[in-house]
Amino acid sequence: MADEDFHLGADVRTSDGRDVGKLVHLLVGPDYGLRALVVKEDPSFSGHRFSPGSWLVNDEFIVPKEAVKSMTRDQIELNLSAGDVRLLPPYLSYREKEESTTEVLADAAGPLTTSAEAPHWIEQVANKPAEQLEIDGGEHVMLGHTGKKLGTVKDVLFDDGQLVGVVLRPEGFFTSEVILPRRFLDRSDDAALFANIEEADLERLTPFRPAE
């Protein structure tokens, strides 16, 4: 089993045959090695299907890399039972934040509405060390800090436990998906990946052709 076999969007199953959700994030350490997976629960596994009008506090959880028993491109099997999976830590936690008078009034009116949105005084906090890099499918990739969007993350590439780069779905520069090598990747916040690359160098990126 090699890290290059992990693919965003793969189905995740427990050792006792329960479908729990899909792989949505990968957590990568400062050495670019894969540390953990973040799985988004299916409504049937989280219980949200039985009460769809309720606010689901958290539907993403962290799975240690060591908990993966086997995988294919489309499916990941864990060595944990459904009961064990339900004990895994959530990916997002919540904490209070300062809010304006307008937000306070909006929160007070919340119980009178049918909206399931989180109160303004709650913010989401990713439960991961600051040095770990989160890579998400569909995440924006920006050209340095120019504000120009290169494209979005289509998939991730690993080789011998090391992050090789991301498959980029371009935003106007190319006609096909390309590989953005890891040495160009950076992040200043959790909203986007930033590519330390000159616009003139984009033509040198390698076209992505999935293995047969």
**Digitized pLDDT (tens) for each residue of the chain, 212 residues in all:** 666 678 999 999 999 999 999 999 999 988 888 999 999 988 888 776 666 665 666 788 999 999 999 999 899 999 999 989 988 988 876 555 555 555 545 444 444 444 445 556 566 677 777 777 788 888 888 888 788 888 899 888 887 777 878 888 888 766 678 888 887 887 756 678 888 887 777 767 777 676 65
Cα 20 to chain center, whole Å? 16
Classify residue 207 by its DSSP letter.
Answer: B
Residue 37: its pLDDT value, please?
A: 94
Classify residue 105 by its DSSP letter.
Answer: H
Classify residue 46 by its DSSP letter.
Answer: H
Confirm whether 179 is domain-assigned.
yes
Cα distances (Å, whole numbers) of residue 185 to 136, 179, 192: 13, 11, 10
Could you tell me the residue range of the domain that residue 200 belongs to?
137-204
**Within 13 Å of residue 24, how many CA atoms lie on the same side as its CB?**
13
Confirm whether 210 is domain-assigned.
no
Which tokens sit at 43? 């409504």
Residues in the chain: 212
In this structure, are 81 and 24 located in the same domain? yes
In this structure, are 18 and 79 located in the same domain? yes
Confirm whether 211 is domain-assigned.
no
Confirm whether 112 is domain-assigned.
yes
In this structure, are 105 and 169 located in the same domain? no
As a whole number of angstroms, the distance between CA 105 and CA 143 comes to 39
Residue 108: its pLDDT value, please?
A: 46
Nearest to 65 by CA among 19, 14, 24, 27: 27
In this structure, are 148 and 196 located in the same domain? yes
In this structure, are 141 and 166 located in the same domain? yes
Residue 38: its pLDDT value, please?
A: 93
Residue 32: its pLDDT value, please?
A: 85
In this structure, are 11 and 70 located in the same domain? yes
Residue 111: its pLDDT value, please?
A: 44
Nearest to 27 by CA among 17, 37, 19: 37
| CATH number, domain with residue 17 | 2.30.30.240
Confirm whether 129 is domain-assigned.
no
In this structure, are 30 and 81 located in the same domain? yes
Strand partners, 195: 143, 185
As a whole number of angstroms, the distance between CA 195 and CA 184 comes to 5
Residue 70: its pLDDT value, please?
A: 93
Which tokens sit at 157? 């590439």
What domain count does the chain have?
Answer: 3
Residue 48: its pLDDT value, please?
A: 66
Handedness of CA 145, 151, 154, 155 (dihedral sign): negative
- Residue 193 CB partners (closer than 8 Å, separation 6+): 135, 139, 140, 141, 142, 153, 166, 185, 186, 187
Residue 63: its pLDDT value, please?
A: 95
